Structure 1
Amino acid sequence: MSIDHWRQAWEQLIAPGSPFEVVTPADGGPRYFRHAPRNLLQVIDAARVHGDKEFVVWQQQRLSFAAYFDAVDRLAGQLAGPLGLRPGERVAIAMRNQPAWLVAFAAIQRCGAVCVPLNSWGLHDELLHGVEDSGARLLIGDEARLALLQDDLAASGRTFIVVGRAAAAKLPAHCLRYEDLLAAAPLPVAAVDIEPQAPALILYTSGTTSRAKGVLSSHRAICQALAALEFQGAFCALTSPERIAGMLSSGFASTTLMAVPLFHVSGLHAQFLSALRGGRRLLLMYKWDAEQALDLIRDERCTQFNGAPVMMQQLLASPRYGGADTASLFGLGLGGGASSAGLLDEMLGRKPQVIAGSGYGLTESNGIGAAVGGDVFAYRPAAAGWPLPIVEVCIGDDPSQPLPAGREGLIWLRSPTLMEGYWNLAEASQQTLRNGWLDTGDLGYLDEQGFLYISGRVKDLINRGGEKISAVEIETCVSDMPGVLEAAAFAVDHPLLGEVVALAIHGAAASLPADQQVLAFIAERLAAYKVPAQVYRVDQPLPRNATGKVLKAELKARLGSV
């Protein structure tokens, strides 16, 4: 297919009468999908038709859609009945990926309450901040999170519903067993009418450099985001018929291996809710491990894996990838960070008929921005993709004065998927949302064909004597070097230049290149002023937060003590 055919397919999908019909409001507001669900209850309840079909697999647990919804309804009955949960109240979830997380989310929505997923990688202070900042009076979590928070929650009178605690074990004050609630006699839940603009979710941003902010999203924003993800799937199928035919003829049931956390949009929206709505099987990993992932792909015949570039790199590095163990794997998705050209080439080269893709979005946009997949991905693998039909992208310091194609600048987004604002942070909300546009903090450009490219972060620039250097550019460059598995560039102080570039690289000790080899490799590809002044060869994986972003402050502190 040519790019003209792709554009025709796009227009066909969003035309009047189509399931993905796009409406342009007369009042000048953002475009939206006419047929998107009205609220998350519609999204969730639509999956009840799948009955006894298998939905969730995690360790020894296997749940059909019917068993899943039985658990959802039982928990919702307890929340709305004895625990008195009312629409609009906040309920936090703090646990690693497991079926109870999925049950808790749907039960909270069933009550018309607001779900507050907390970073299960977080320590005491971060978790307690999320609970107290959101005003959640109920928390559903696992034993590890209870151990961190039980004294604080008891002191404030908050109730903790603990998942997986032994029946014989004594419960702390203000604590209930999740399993006891599910085993109790089922209670009815009154029907709630949820308006599209009602609050649905508070997701805390990763907070790599400051205290995490709560991103408040409405039901409408999330439902529009889910419709955008479905549009991208339909567009990919329409424009990549040979790849889709290969997947369909394999006979494997559509199964997603999910290794990213549920407290992030890539896990919650693009994997859990999309699988629920589409009737697809979901295989949960408690913790990422490339070899275990390959075992699960082999044993459960997983057809789809989406992950951060570092996860994909580890998967591709295994000698098992591309053999019998991954025979069922037809879909690969990238997100959460910039990918090197080498990784993109390897993804396509090792499995030429794979349906590969990537996307760009933020927590503040419910993960929606641009996307690319299938044949279009093979055509422009380094691009973030075309902005989705309900997304407007503007490049420049001010969205009212866009830069021409090819010029790099600040990326602004406008769409119905944007957050309502940061929870209880009016000033920060006003700084980020301006006249309906979201200041992403990312740098990029649109090419002549409308593809969006991400080139770095405004706050991830190194100012070397007045020359601005993108850390991402250096990281993606050196990631193409044999032996380098991970890389992080950052600024270090310099008495004359203000800042210079430092670079940390990680890989197997036997194959990690020497400092001078690294500097020579970069010098051949980038301007001289971008060549690092210091290279650190690190024997441990780089510290990352739950969304896969390198914790550069922690890394710098670690290296400073070496």
Structure 2
Amino acid sequence: MMDGATHTAIQQRLLADASPFALDSMTLNGHRLAIYRHAPETLLQVLEEARGHGDAPFIKYLDRLWTFADFTRGVDSLAAWLLAQGVEAGDRVAIAMRNRPEWAVAFMAAVRVGALPAPLNSFGQGDELRQALAYLEPAVLCCDRERLDRLAGQTGVPGCRLVVAGNDEGLPLGEATRFESALSAWPEPRLPEVRVDPDSPALILFTSGATSRPKGVVSSHRAVGQALFNIDFIGALSGMTSPKAVKRIEAQRRPSVTLTAVPLFHVSGLHAQLLTAMRHGRQLIFMHRWSAVDALALMRSEGVTQFNGAPSMVRQLVVAAEERDDDILEGLWGMGFGGSGVPDSLLDKVLSRFPEQMIGIGFGMTETNGAVSAVSGELFRGRPRSSGPLSPLFDVQILAPDGEALPAGEVGEVCVRGVTLMQGYWREPEATAGALEQGWLRTGDLGYLDAEGFLFIVDRLKDVIVRSGENIAPAEIESCLTAHPAVAEAAVFGIPDEETGEAVAALVALREGQWVEESELQAHVRHHLAGYKVPSAIRIRHDALLRNPAGKLLKKHLREDFLQDTAQLQ
């Protein structure tokens, strides 16, 4: 185990004035914040970095390989098409499709013309997608055929143009533009120069907090550029503190290839994989649909060196490899957990089975543009229950319920401040003011800092369920359930699940004289919301749900009763 003094000394060397990771500071919104001196200031710079990789392989999807040159040509062509449609700086370009090269092209084409790319949750059903589009009022929606069908071919936003990727069989002409047609219309475009202020909005990402409706998180170009450079810092710190693992990687002389199975509409997919690969010339393998067995096959055929995914995905991958006596995972350089807490049993298994790999984890949010803290390699093996040392970009306070700052070792709410924080929620000033207090973001997570500055997350304050890495707002499912004519009230909460980390469970009280089967309620939710939000189990009752004198559901007691009833039935 590396001692704290050694870790601190290495970090200080990395942050020295002559280092690529040298720090400066700037005043932003009245607060003095640390910044990396050499970080990209805008996403336009990231696009230019991608151009420098030329004909190197970039994205492999199904049977087609896109080089960086293919990708940047596609970006320029779609950017020219967007300009021809009258898209202007600040307009929103919504993206709703599975992970595929056109997703990346649409994102950077929006950036290229000064518009705001706004990726939607591709798991969403028609109602969810329409709600997000009405909220954004985009000038253009870039989607695939599956999302178009969920929308019944209509965005519901007056004047919003449609661009559709993939299968276009039966696509109504005049109502939508085929992606390939948009690209071929401008094969060698001459684009005007675009200048953007580093502190102007760069993108909108949706987050599912404790509210019934996802909010759009607006982040600046500077915030995203600093977050991307912070990923480089984490890699450098992990490498310098894990010399044996680095020596093993160098000896293999293989190109970096990442299997991308996490959605690009999350920072774990967008920042840590897509945008980082664009900057450093790394190859990505996009999966059409997650399957542990298919993932193993792709790892072997494509020479994959890195895999990052939700704990449930890592678990499925390890189990599938054991069942098939497949040693492909042993050849990986690294594996990362993200999206939710890692069960101790899975953590211990991965660390023991892969003693030479760079195993890692981090803590961050959409509102922070990723990692507040992160750790990999020997630092992680020394503190496997931590989320790593704090990023140099962040100030962190652990607050007691009365707002007082707590010393090292004491548990409280984790509050963070730094240059990568969001500018706010799209068109929601009250929600923004409630989340950002004097520049500090209250994360809703409970944790503590140890004496050496490592962050440990132990629980949540927010009423949020994390299922296979996806944040789920119980209020959204409760609202959906109570829309059923037989349901008077509903309480939704998370319960432990070995496969997904947490499962969605619900207690439902019916209206007098009504009856409905559990399967009908599940089908009702599935019709309106994404599949991962459907409760795995629903208990139906006729008496009112327990509330406090103020009328608030007593979720803790209801959850305990649910778990007790479940245990008695087993």
Which amino acid in 2 is paired with 1:61?
R
- The residue aligned with 1:136 is 138
**TM-score, with length taken from structure 2:** 0.81
Contact 2:123–2:531 (8 Å) recurs in 1 = no
**Mapping for residues 484-503 of structure 1, pairs under 5 Å:** 503=495
Q: CA deviation at 1:95?
A: 0.2
**Mapping for residues 187-266 of structure 1, pairs under 5 Å:** 187-206=189-208, 210-266=212-268
% same residue: 41
Which amino acid in 2 is paired with 1:144?
E
Q: Distance in 1 between matches of 2:342 and 2:290?
A: 19
Contact 1:337–1:549 (8 Å) recurs in 2 = no
Contact 2:337–2:362 (8 Å) recurs in 1 = yes
Contact 1:78–1:181 (8 Å) recurs in 2 = yes
Q: CA deviation at 1:360?
A: 0.3
Which amino acid in 1 is paired with 2:356?
Q
1:380 aligns with 2:377: no
- The residue aligned with 1:116 is 118
Q: CA deviation at 1:249?
A: 0.8
Task: Specify whether residues 386 and 324 from structure 1 end up closer, same or farther in structure 2 by C-alpha distance, changes over 3 A only.
Answer: same
SS at match of 1:9: helix
Select which of 443, 446, 465 maps to 2:446.
Answer: 443
- The residue aligned with 1:171 is 172
**Mapping for residues 408-423 of structure 1, pairs under 5 Å:** 408-423=411-426
Contact 2:49–2:279 (8 Å) recurs in 1 = yes
1:12 aligns with 2:13: yes
- The residue aligned with 2:164 is 162
Contact 2:363–2:370 (8 Å) recurs in 1 = yes
1:63 aligns with 2:43: no
Which amino acid in 2 is paired with 1:421?
G
Q: Distance in 2 between matches of 1:125 and 1:53?
A: 40
Q: CA deviation at 1:381?
A: 0.9
- The residue aligned with 1:145 is 147
Contact 2:61–2:287 (8 Å) recurs in 1 = yes
Deviations 1:70-120 (A, max 9, x none): 11111111111x212111111000000001001111111111110000001
Select which of 366, 371, 374 maps to 2:374.
Answer: 371
Task: Specify whether residues 112 and 321 from structure 1 end up closer, same or farther in structure 2 by C-alpha distance, changes over 3 A only.
Answer: farther
SS at match of 1:277: helix
Deviations 1:220-275 (A, max 9, x none): 11001001111001111111111011011112210000100001110000110011
- The residue aligned with 1:341 is 344
Task: Specify whether residues 228 and 505 from structure 1 end up closer, same or farther in structure 2 by C-alpha distance, changes over 3 A only.
Answer: closer
Q: Distance in 2 between matches of 1:410 and 1:96?
A: 35
Q: CA deviation at 1:324?
A: 3.4
Deviations 1:265-289 (A, max 9, x none): 1000011001111111001112211
SS at match of 1:558: strand
SS at match of 1:555: coil
SS at match of 1:116: strand
- The residue aligned with 1:520 is none
SS at match of 1:403: coil
- The residue aligned with 1:555 is 535
Give the root-mean-square deviation of aligned CA atoms. 3.1
Contact 2:209–2:462 (8 Å) recurs in 1 = no
- The residue aligned with 1:314 is 316
Which amino acid in 1 is paired with 2:335?
L
Which amino acid in 1 is paired with 2:265?
F
- The residue aligned with 2:22 is 21
Q: CA deviation at 1:17?
A: 2.1
Task: Specify whether residues 357 and 10 from structure 1 end up closer, same or farther in structure 2 by C-alpha distance, changes over 3 A only.
Answer: same
1:184 aligns with 2:185: yes
**TM-score, with length taken from structure 1:** 0.82
Contact 2:10–2:240 (8 Å) recurs in 1 = yes
Contact 1:322–1:351 (8 Å) recurs in 2 = no
Q: Distance in 2 between matches of 1:157 and 1:198?
A: 25
- The residue aligned with 2:49 is 46
Contact 2:134–2:157 (8 Å) recurs in 1 = no
SS at match of 2:351: helix
Contact 1:360–1:369 (8 Å) recurs in 2 = yes
Contact 1:202–1:216 (8 Å) recurs in 2 = yes
Contact 1:370–1:386 (8 Å) recurs in 2 = yes
Number of residue equivalences: 494
Q: Distance in 2 between matches of 1:178 and 1:39?
A: 26
Q: Which runs of 5+ in 1 are unaligned?
A: 462-470, 480-487, 491-498, 509-539
Contact 1:298–1:328 (8 Å) recurs in 2 = no
Between 1 and 2, higher relative CO (CA 8 Å, sep ≥ 6) is seen in 2
Q: CA deviation at 1:152?
A: 3.6
Which amino acid in 2 is paired with 1:119?
N
Q: CA deviation at 1:131?
A: 1.4
Contact 1:301–1:328 (8 Å) recurs in 2 = no
- The residue aligned with 2:554 is none
Which amino acid in 2 is paired with 1:219?
H
Which amino acid in 1 is paired with 2:452?
Q
Which amino acid in 2 is paired with 1:139?
L
Q: Distance in 1 between matches of 2:73 and 2:492?
A: 58
Task: Specify whether residues 97 and 362 from structure 1 end up closer, same or farther in structure 2 by C-alpha distance, changes over 3 A only.
Answer: same
Q: Which runs of 5+ in 2 are unaligned?
A: 475-490, 501-521, 542-565
- The residue aligned with 2:511 is none
1:75 aligns with 2:55: no
Contact 2:398–2:448 (8 Å) recurs in 1 = yes
Which amino acid in 2 is paired with 1:347?
V
- The residue aligned with 2:562 is none
Task: Specify whether residues 549 and 14 from structure 1 end up closer, same or farther in structure 2 by C-alpha distance, changes over 3 A only.
Answer: farther
SS at match of 1:29: strand
